[in-house]
């Protein structure tokens, strides 16, 4: 089938680690590649943010990426992109009406992609599937006055959920949030993100260590990721080192405000000699970092899904994670890792110290983690489930067949 992926701010070609480049970019890239490998014709539409970008890019994964001229051809924070969505939508509509390629289904990623994709899809007479990746209600609850989302985000997300043909949630926690938002249960399907099992596995090279236990954490350097809680927790984990991968490049860390705050916090907590910020790492090298760790910590205050715990588990590394969002589903508490309350450095440090001290338990968790990921969280499996969702909204199949588990 011909599938149009709309990902207005998160290009599958972007370098990860920036403020607006993270899990959604990876999700769209990997999912599109898996669908293409299954024989589908996938085009990803993302906003042009550089004048030198070609309009069309054909990737090695047989996915076509199309750069849409909507707004200035320069980086724009995603929360400032809303005024450009009508232009994005008009461009899509024109292309699908007059060009040589038109989709059979539109899959919008993030709420603004839905605002751009839904009108164009309705004019083309094709169904729309929506994945939010993050919800305004959750962001407002945790960030309060610091939330920079456009004022009408929650209203628009509610309207989208009621207007599209299907909403794909990534975890059971998101199902509850969507139903509270007003999305009907009959509109919902649950399809979790996956892991690239070719890139992430327990066998292979690892980054060198300094000979002491390594606690690894991975993610963008934004406050909600909870790195400050991990730095505080390290006071309870003597002798271990903490390595944080993500954010800007290593050369830019000294000028990055969040990196500077984390380093100052480590100094005040007396752990500066054991906390190391690496900066952005090419994705093809990430498995080496996971394999170098004795355990991986994911300590966000909230997390729509969370890919890094799955990548760590695929590499055979146990995880200590906060019990939020998708990690409640992916990290089997007491089986593949330990779940702790969010924003609780004492609970986090206690759990990390206990797991580092129990080599046998780490080995059990590691073996169970690899099995769990391979059985439940491959991108191939996600692509198969989504193909069923697409058929269920009328693409090559007459009868919907989607159940909320």
Model pLDDT for residues 76-118, shown as the tens digit of each residue: 999 999 999 999 999 999 999 998 999 999 999 999 999 999 9
CATH no. of 214-376: 3.40.50.2000
Nearest CA-CA partner of 291 in 184, 181, 201: 201
Strand order in the sheet with 2-6: 56-58, 64-68, 41-47, 2-6, 105-109, 128-131, 166-169, 188-190
Best CATH choice for the domain 2-194+379-392 from the list 3.50.50.60, 3.40.50.2000, 3.40.50.1950, 1.10.1670.10 = 3.40.50.2000
Euclidean distance between CA atoms 44 and 67, whole angstroms: 8
Nearest CA-CA partner of 56 in 48, 64, 392: 64
Give the number of other Cβ atoms within 10 Å of residue 360's Cβ. 7
Euclidean distance between CA atoms 125 and 96, whole angstroms: 11
Q: Are strands 319-322 and 295-298 parallel, antiparallel or unpaired?
A: parallel
Nearest CA-CA partner of 109 in 5, 222, 224, 258: 5
Euclidean distance between CA atoms 41 and 61, whole angstroms: 11
The three-state secondary structure class of 253 is: helix
pLDDT of 21 reads 55
Euclidean distance between CA atoms 266 and 268, whole angstroms: 5
The structural domains of the chain, with segments of one domain joined by +, span 2-194+379-392, 214-376
Under the banding of pLDDT at 50, 70 and 90, the label for residue 405 is: very low
Q: What is the mean pLDDT of the chain?
A: 93
The three-state secondary structure class of 330 is: helix
Nearest CA-CA partner of 223 in 255, 257, 248: 257
Alpha carbon of residue 238 to chain centroid: 31
Give me 265's structure tokens: 């916090």
What DSSP letter does each residue of 10-41 carry, written as one string? --TTSPTTSTT-SHHHHHHHHHHHHHHHTT-E
Greater confidence (145 vs 6) lies with 6
2-194+379-392 shares its CATH topology with 214-376 = yes
> What are the tens digits of pLDDT across the range 210-239?
889 999 999 989 999 999 999 999 999 999
């Amino acid at each position: 089938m011909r599938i149009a992926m709309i990902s207005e701010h998160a290009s599958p070609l972007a370098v990860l680690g920036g403020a607006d480049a993270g899990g959604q970019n990876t999700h769209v890239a990997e999912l599109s590649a898996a669908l293409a490998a299954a024989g589908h014709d996938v085009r990803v539409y993302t906003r042009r943010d550089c004048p030198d970008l070609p309009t069309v890019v054909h990737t090695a994964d047989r996915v076509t990426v199309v750069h849409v001229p909507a707004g200035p051809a320069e980086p724009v924070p995603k929360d400032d992109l809303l005024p450009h969505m009508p232009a994005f939508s008009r461009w899509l509509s024109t292309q699908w009406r007059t060009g040589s390629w038109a989709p059979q289904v539109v899959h919008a990623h993030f709420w603004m992609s839905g605002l751009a994709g839904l009108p164009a899809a309705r004019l083309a007479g094709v169904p729309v599937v929506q994945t939010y990746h993050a919800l305004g209600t959750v962001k407002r609850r945790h960030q309060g006055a610091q939330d920079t989302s456009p004022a009408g985000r929650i209203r628009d997300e509610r309207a989208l959920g009621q207007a599209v043909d299907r909403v794909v949630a990534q975890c059971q926690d998101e199902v509850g949030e969507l139903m509270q938002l007003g999305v009907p249960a009959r509109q919902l399907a649950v399809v979790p993100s996956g892991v690239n099992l070719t890139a992430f596995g327990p066998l292979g090279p690892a980054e060198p260590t300094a000979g002491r236990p390594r606690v690894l954490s991975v993610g963008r350097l934004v406050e909600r990721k909870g790195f400050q809680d991990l730095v505080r927790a390290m006071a309870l984990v003597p002798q271990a080192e903490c390595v944080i991968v993500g954010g800007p490049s290593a050369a830019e860390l000294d000028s990055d405000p969040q990196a500077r705050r984390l380093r100052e916090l480590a100094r005040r907590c007396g752990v500066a000699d054991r906390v190391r910020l690496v900066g952005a790492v090419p994705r093809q090298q990430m498995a080496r970092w996971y394999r170098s760790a004795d355990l991986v910590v994911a300590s966000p205050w909230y997390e729509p899904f969370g890919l890094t715990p799955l990548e760590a588990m695929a590499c055979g590394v146990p995880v200590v994670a906060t019990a939020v969002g998708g990690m409640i589903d992916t990290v089997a508490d007491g089986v593949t890792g330990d779940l702790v309350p969010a924003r609780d450095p004492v609970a986090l440090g206690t759990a990390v110290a206990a797991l580092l001290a129990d080599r046998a338990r780490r080995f059990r968790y590691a073996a169970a983690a690899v099995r769990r990921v391979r059985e439940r969280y491959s991108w191939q499996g996600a692509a198969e489930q989504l193909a069923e969702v697409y058929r269920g909204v009328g693409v090559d199949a007459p009868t919907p067949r989607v159940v909320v588990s």
